[in-house]
Structure 1
């Protein structure tokens, strides 16, 4: 989840089925975010969705919370990275790193899952350590903005991701993407991330948002969501058909 030059372009998978990841990979997206926070997704479904990637399209799982068991079970499935929502303090970021590192640097236990190729590459997996995946944290509140520099500076945090909807809601300017206070918060977070040398990312769901968010000079953008693509396509087809009938 690091862009050497141009930003990485990704898709957002909210439909809990492997096809949505396979379609994003087939289309040629650089990465796909698998959303386990706001969907009824099981770990079994998550594992099947990860199998939908072609190996070239990277996978970033947005976990439902920062619980150590959640992180452990997700990482055992072998994603390229995790995106942890609603991170607000350096202490929370430190806990995320600790419970996702193996001893002696952390408390993560060893599982016989996809991440170790079912123990067939266990030694290599343990040797790779932090290099085998990335940890990104989602900053989406005023408190998170205030603590952004300290959060980004935590050893083991690889990237920060702004959730525009929740951040604007937290600031009392929901959906007001040109609001000066909102844009100031965005710049504050990403400036702190760049100073700390970590990756920056965000989400866009339509043409105007894509243009704005790519102007934020981020390293990666999820530029669409499967549910919205589906809803828009169904609505457009229905409206066009009704126009033809009338």
Structure 2
């Protein structure tokens, strides 16, 4: 686990990441070597089983911090991702303060939460148990996603939950929840994102966002967003190979 990532995030540093959806240590290593500040490991939509997630983290987590997007706001996937050595978690579809509170409980050890205690890779397979437990609450980055209109409506209460470190906006799911699938530039979607932005700024929470292309996230960088993720491994591979084939045909 990297203490530097949470410290850098809370200090407001710009952190550039990309998304890993293929459960492959080889792909993870290629992305890590590219020089990103962090990797977004998508265990929500990506086909990651526990052993595959462990393999990816074993391959790259000591070289580049990995934030794992867990499948749901549930105890077992949150606990498992952290026990396997993720630098932190991204939790999807956090739409209420009660859900945000559960995220904190599942991801922090007592007295700041109720994270289950076990022995796994993060604990040095038991050999570093005490040092890990003593520092985990300080080191673990906890990000909730605002990606539903309900989250926008409840954002003041969500932002007030102690020990939530930041909010990452999911513009595509948000647009879908508003009946505007994929229309992330629609005025209503833009207004919803701006509401989250304004509330989080007032609450002192740093913000992140995903965009398929760097151009799509540039406006949010200009608004002060610091946890930025762009590019998806499968899309980049597909587009790159299409470009190669097109050039070969010429």
**Is TM (by shorter chain) over 0.5?**
yes
Q: Which moved more, 1:195-204 or 1:7-16?
A: 195-204
Secondary structure of 1:118's match? helix
Q: Assess if the C-alpha contact under 8 Å between 1:30 and 1:56 holds in 2.
A: no
5+ residue gaps, structure 2, are none
Query: What is the rounded CA distance, in whole Å, between the counterparts of 2:58 and 2:82 in structure 1?
Result: 14
Query: What is the rounded CA distance, in whole Å, between the counterparts of 2:62 and 2:149 in structure 1?
Result: 37
Where does residue 66 of structure 1 map in the other structure?
73
5+ residue gaps, structure 1, are none
Where does residue 208 of structure 1 map in the other structure?
215
Task: Compute the TM-score of the two structures, normalised by the length of structure 1.
Answer: 0.92
Secondary structure of 2:18's match? strand
Moved over 6 A (4+): none
Q: Is 1:107 matched with 2:126?
A: no
1:168: how far off?
Answer: 1.2
Q: Assess if the C-alpha contact under 8 Å between 1:22 and 1:54 holds in 2.
A: no
Q: How does 1:159-178 map to 2 (within 5 A)?
A: 159-178=166-185
Q: Which moved more, 1:132-141 or 1:199-208?
A: 199-208
How big is each residue's C-alpha offset from its partner over 1:64-116, in whole Å with a ceiling of 9 and x where there is no partner? 11111111111111111100001100001111111222234433221211221
Give the length in aligned residue pairs.
243
Q: 1:98 aligns with which of 90, 95, 105?
A: 105
How big is each residue's C-alpha offset from its partner over 1:108-145, in whole Å with a ceiling of 9 and x where there is no partner? 22121122111222111221141121111111111000
Q: Assess if the C-alpha contact under 8 Å between 2:23 and 2:56 holds in 1.
A: yes
Query: What is the rounded CA distance, in whole Å, between the counterparts of 2:10 and 2:64 in structure 1?
Result: 13
Q: 1:24 aligns with which of 22, 27, 31?
A: 31
Q: 2:154 aligns with which of 147, 152, 160?
A: 147
Query: What is the rounded CA distance, in whole Å, between the counterparts of 2:34 and 2:193 in structure 1?
Result: 30
Q: Assess if the C-alpha contact under 8 Å between 1:206 and 1:224 holds in 2.
A: yes
How big is each residue's C-alpha offset from its partner over 1:135-173, in whole Å with a ceiling of 9 and x where there is no partner? 111111110001112112111211100011111111223
1:55: how far off?
Answer: 2.8
Where does residue 231 of structure 2 map in the other structure?
224
Q: How does 1:24-63 map to 2 (within 5 A)?
A: 24-53=31-60, 55-63=62-70
